[in-house]
Structure 1
Amino acid sequence: MPPHLLLHSLLQLRVPPRHPLLRLLHSYNPIDRPPPLDQPLHDAELWIAKALATAALLLPHYLPAFRRLAPSQVAAAAALRHAPCASSTLHLFSALHSPHSQLAIPPSAHSYRYVISLMCQSGRHTDALQLFDQMTDQSGYFPNARFLSFLSGSCATAGLLDAAAALLSKASQFGCSIEAYAYNKLLGLFIGRGRVQDAVVLFEGWIQGRVYSPDVWSFNVVIKGVCKGKGGE
């Protein structure tokens, strides 16, 4: 779309004067780009991304006007990076990607990964796990080993051990090869919480299901945990 037509569309948003987010519409700079996406971001898409973020957060009733611009998944992913906080990012994700929203742009794998990571970093693991299920079950995007390890590790650190175990148990289903270190660390956390029997059940189940290949440390963790549990009885 020619820049003058795009600018005309942006001006129709009528953002309140002096509002902090107004700078999104006036800070255009070809080198002022969000972090790299899965695909290159063209200049026009950068404008659209800023306008989408502004409209969704300030004037959501103007979002239908963007249909004629046909925002791409790349522009929508870039728009998410303009949200000022985790709550705003989640709201923006819903406004752009929900099937019941006014735009209903199919979310990209990059959008999912970005928002899920942000939710984890903000301590909102329930939201992160819901989005993960949506990403894999509804949108059909599977995580790679690095992302699955990150999500499981973040849940484990937050004390959500069962959720972390469930994620690692699905590694083979997603075609991911997770190093034994991640499994061993989680087993150690189970044992540290006094859940020795749960750790043993997981260990045996992972081996039988060929989810991972245990190393020497794996057996050391479990054996020490069992001995410690016996000694406390």
Structure 2
Amino acid sequence: MKASLVPSVFRSWVLGDPAPAYVLGGEGARLAEMLAEGLVSRFREQGDTAELVHWSVADLERESPAGTWRSPSFFFRWRVYLLADAGEWKKDPRKEILSYLESPEPSVLLVVPCSDRKARSLFASVRGIRSASPGEEDVVAAMADFAVSLAAGEGKSLSGDAAVFLARWVGSDFPRFRAEMGKLLAFGAAKGEIGEEEIREVCVAGGMVDPFRLAD
């Protein structure tokens, strides 16, 4: 995802000075992958090498987070780790991560979805991190902004109202939203404008799409 596609809700994070961790709370936790991809794209667009690594709860338990992040990479200038939701972390990894953030590795950025309010309080005293808790409307607006920009990049017209409808129709889980957006652009390849009719035909909440209509 190009850095230019990053929505306004955290554009300043992506374009500003890197932080050791970015915590997205509440409904905003669903935008964590969008943020992580935006950070990686920003570094690559400025000519740096960067990788995005997804870590599940099992990865956090199996690996030594601090040891891994402090080990130098010979291939990448920047490493962005998209972690499992902080509300699911076990005690030992949580303790290690919070200790690591007291003296983080400058070339490593952590993106932390944190849908649980109690878990978010763990980061209250951590210095230097970026933290926000976008509400439902902010998440929908972010998805809509992304869709409009992506469509424009493909030479398609998607109005703001249609993009908001798309976000509500598909849901605000970013990986699924991006996949549905890809199908929508492919389906509307011969059309210059995408509207509610096309969205209803291709992107149905729950993932039910008529394959025969797609083949026409």
TM over 0.5: no
Greater RCO, CA 8 A, separation 6+: 2
Question: Relative to total residues, which structure has the larger helix share, 1 or 2?
Answer: 1
Question: Relative to total residues, which structure has the larger strand share, 1 or 2?
Answer: 2
Q: Considering only CA atoms, is the larger Rg found in Structure 1 or Structure 2?
A: 1
- TM tier relative to shorter chain: under 0.3
